[in-house]
């Protein structure tokens, strides 16, 4: 199975959680800490389950997510 990782820009994330619903492996959760705009951003909580499929990236309206696959390729 492929493995990946994601980075979430906490300041760009407005907490719409479209990424949580889009992730087939449930690697994201709602963060318990606010960002500077008062939103609770998404949190990459289960790194061991991430395949780098980029479903979260594709639905993010704020371009707050960057996806990396094991090969080091950025999507």
Q: What is the CATH number of the domain that holds 10?
A: 3.30.70.20
The answer to the question of residue 75 being in a domain is no
Residue range of the domain that includes 39 = 4-69
The string of pLDDT tens digits covering residues 31-52 is 999 999 999 999 999 999 999 9
Q: How many Cβ atoms from other residues are within 10 Å of residue 52's Cβ?
A: 18
Q: Note the maximum CA span of the chain.
A: 37
The total number of structural domains that make up the chain: 1
Concatenated DSSP letters for the chain? ---EEEEE-TTT-----HHHHH-TT--EEE-SS--TTS---EEE--GGG-----HHHHH-TT--EEEEETT--B-
Q: Is the pLDDT of residue 54 over 70?
A: yes
């Amino acid at each position: 199975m492929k493995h990946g990782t994601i980075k979430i820009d906490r300041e760009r994330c407005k907490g719409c959680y479209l990424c949580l619903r889009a992730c087939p492996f449930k690697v994201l959760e709602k963060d318990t800490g606010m960002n500077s705009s008062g939103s609770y951003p998404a949190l990459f909580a289960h790194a061991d389950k991430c395949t780098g499929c980029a479903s979260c990236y594709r639905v993010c309206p704020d371009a707050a997510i960057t996806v990396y696959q094991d090969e080091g390729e950025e999507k």
